[in-house]
Structure 1
Amino acid sequence: MPRYFTEDHEWVEIDGDTATVGITDYAQGQLGDIVFVELPEEGAEIEKGKDAAVVESVKAASDVYSPITGTVIEANGALEDDPSLVNSSPEEDGWFFKLTVADEGELDGLMDEEAYGKFVANL
């Protein structure tokens, strides 16, 4: 499944017409220990680049932006019980939400894993 990355350190993995969104390992490392995650409601319409979720750590609260436009079809309820999943498994079990892919063309502006690695190396 193809995975794409944003300059704001979100990742999106595409499986057919479903996209799974989370934050990168780099982002969780910058945030520190995650203590709370606010997820979008199922059925919410989210536009690319707009606030979709909030993650709070011992250091700060940060918005999570949607890498693409779509309708939320699932939120990761496990994060409500155990927000530290974002720290321990940011790019697997610590995903935030799933949404429909409204426009595949929006993926063209995102980075692949290699480009994201280079981007982070220059920060």
Structure 2
Amino acid sequence: MNIPSDLKYTRNHEWVRAEADGTITVGITDHAQELLGDLVFVELPDVGVEFSADQEVAVVESVKAASDVYAPLTGSIVEVNPIAVDSPEVVNQDAYAAWLFKMQPVAAADVDALLDATAYQQLVDAA
């Protein structure tokens, strides 16, 4: 299982990358896509919509199950990845390259409170 050390993680299996412009890029982890299996559908939020941390933002569906994707922080959607919508299988091919959406968090420093790679690995191992 691939858990890049330069990213942050949530207990809901999203990965988060803090960008230089203060936004965050969000996707589902390699572990999450492995559990789901082959993705066949991705539904992403509209740009401009605001979400609270842990609020349902998107849906990913596989041949086995559907799963919600949650906002890792409170903020607004600034961009979505149309490639993930048009070709959901890209998430299975490389979960960390196939981001789902970008947010402008209310407090960018909140990223620091998310799980680091070691803590996320422990979460996965305990499941």
TM norm structure 2: 0.90
Pick from 8, 11, 16 the counterpart of residue 7 of structure 1.
11
| C-alpha distance in 1 between matches for 2:124 and 2:70 | 18
CA RMSD of aligned residues (A): 1.5
| C-alpha distance in 2 between matches for 1:10 and 1:106 | 15
- Structure 2: give runs of 5+ residues left out of the alignment: none
Pick from 118, 121, 126 the counterpart of residue 117 of structure 1.
121
SS in 2 for 1:85: helix
TM norm structure 1: 0.92
- CA shift for structure 1 position 91: 1.0
Matches within 5 A, 1:1-123: 2-16=6-20, 17-92=22-97, 94-123=98-127
- Structure 1: give runs of 5+ residues left out of the alignment: none
Q: Is the 8 A contact 1:36 1:57 kept in 2?
A: yes
- 42-51 vs 100-109, which moves further: 100-109
Q: Is the 8 A contact 2:18 2:111 kept in 1?
A: no
| C-alpha distance in 1 between matches for 2:103 and 2:6 | 15
Over 2 Å off, 4+ runs: 104-109
| C-alpha distance in 2 between matches for 1:104 and 1:82 | 30
Q: Is the 8 A contact 2:52 2:71 kept in 1?
A: yes
Q: Aligned in 2, Cα 1:2/1:102: closer, same or farther, shift over 3 Å?
A: farther
SS in 1 for 2:57: strand
